[in-house]
Structure 1
Amino acid sequence: MADVLTLVEARLRTGLGEPDARAAVTFLGTDRFEVLRFTDGDVVRYATLGMSAQPMTDPTAALADPVEGPRAELVLSVRGGLADTDKVLRPLAVLAASPQVEGLVVAPGASLDVGEPLWPGAPFTSVLVAEPGGLVEDLDLDDPMDPVRFLPLLPMTPNEAAWKRVHGAEALRERWLNSGTDLRDPLRKSVSLD
């Protein structure tokens, strides 16, 4: 499956440029996960590499299919220089490992929570998984493998995450849009949820 990751890294480089840093994390009983950092002006993007090596499997399935099933990597974009966002590397690797560790299928509209601030002083402990196809195009793999999707992550405050559980992902995205929320601001406050 190393070939898949080679193709994924090439697609990330095509979409985001050359990474200026990378870190690797290995969790007991899982594969190695890397997080690559890309800087584009004042925006810093962090992308996982390793989550797509294996397809995600429905936790109710009797057997995990080693070939077929959804594949994804995660991409987080923030404004650089406002907070110590490089500390997000481990939380991102934890999220990337969640399909292997917890049997999750990560898809648009899902909430992922790390249970602690994403970086020191961050008002966010969770993220909303957004629709792919913006920054990095899906990567088609040979049949019968599913394409690799590059899923943007939108940081959520605990209040936003609770509101999203009640009203849904689309309602939260509309609230952000109507309020002109800068989702890349690493220090932003919660959107008004009244």
Structure 2
Amino acid sequence: MADVLALVEARLRTALGEPDARAAVTFLGTDRIEVLRFSDQASGGIVRYATLGMAAQPMADPTAVLADPLRGPRAELVLSVRAGLADTDKVLRPLAVLAASPQVEGVVVAPGASLDVGEPLWPGAPFTSVLVAEPGGLVDDLDLEEPLDPVQFLPLLPMTPNEAAHKRVHGAAELQERWLNHGTDVRDPLRSSVRLD
């Protein structure tokens, strides 16, 4: 069976180009997680951070007695922000923490979920959590050999604490619709919270 992470990295390079930086983080009792940075000046100064390592193992249902070593959802995380407005490179460790959460906490990361790191995503960031968005827009799913599930590349949308509280009450779709209606640039690393009244 082909190395899943080699295929994942190849898919990321095809979709986003060559990474211009990478960092590795290892947490006690988990596999190594890398975070790759892709700077694309052609896309209006957007920098993208993608995890590499989360998809090595399928995410297991925390209520299952035994985890299936082959079957189960696989994913990597992708965060896109405007370059040059904040020191967003400090997001590498928080992203690695989120990518390790299926191994550490037994959670299944899926679209519509909220993930909280408990601290600013980067210095001065008004965000401590992210909304997991639907895959397929930026990086296509990666099909693997049977019986393995495909790898999804899940976009992360930073949320302010007020937005995260609003999402818990009203749901992910309502928050995303509010962002859309107010013309919120969710890639702005310094943006304020959308109006919630």
Question: Normalised by the size of structure 2, how large is the TM-score?
Answer: 0.98
What does 1:149-164 align with in structure 2 at a 5 Å threshold?
149-164=152-167
Q: Deviations over 1:13-35 (max 9, x none)?
A: 00000000000000000000000
The amino acid across from 1:138 in the alignment is D
3-state SS of the aligned residue for 2:70? coil
1:1-194 equivalence runs, <5 A = 3-41=3-41, 42-194=45-197
| Dislocated runs of 4+, deviation >4 Å | none
RMSD of Structure 2 on Structure 1 (CA) = 0.8
Q: Distance in 2 between matches of 1:65 and 1:54?
A: 9
Residue 147 of structure 1 and its aligned partner are, at CA, apart by: 0.1
The one-letter code sitting in structure 2 at the alignment partner of 1:177 is L
Task: Please say if residues 43 and 80 of structure 1, whose CA atoms lie closer than 8 Å, have aligned partners that are also in contact.
Answer: yes
Contact 1:114 1:126 in 2 (8 A): yes
Alignment-mate amino acid for residue 88 of structure 1: V
| Residues 2 and 93 of structure 1: CA distance in aligned 2, closer, same or farther (over 3 Å) | farther
Q: 1:158–1:2: structure 2 CA closer, same or farther, 3 Å change rule?
A: farther
Residue 94 of structure 1 aligns with an amino acid whose one-letter code is: V
- In structure 2, what is the Cα distance between the partners aligned to 1:131 and 1:40? 22
The one-letter code matched in structure 2 to 1:6 is A
Q: Distance in 1 between matches of 2:2 and 2:19?
A: 19
Identify unmatched segments of 5+ residues in structure 1: none
Q: CA deviation at 1:2?
A: 7.6
Instruction: Return the letter of the residue paired with 1:105.
Output: V
Q: Give the distance between the partners of 1:182 and 1:138, measured in 2 at CA.
A: 25
AA paired with 1:182? D
The answer as to whether partners of 1:18 and 1:38 remain within 8 angstroms in 2 is yes
Is the Cα–Cα contact under 8 Å of residues 2 and 53 in structure 1 kept in the other structure?
no
CA distance in 2, matches of 1:50, 1:63: 21
Deviation at 1:118, TM superposition (A): 0.1
Q: Which amino acid aligns with 2:160?
A: T
Code of the aligned partner of 1:36: L
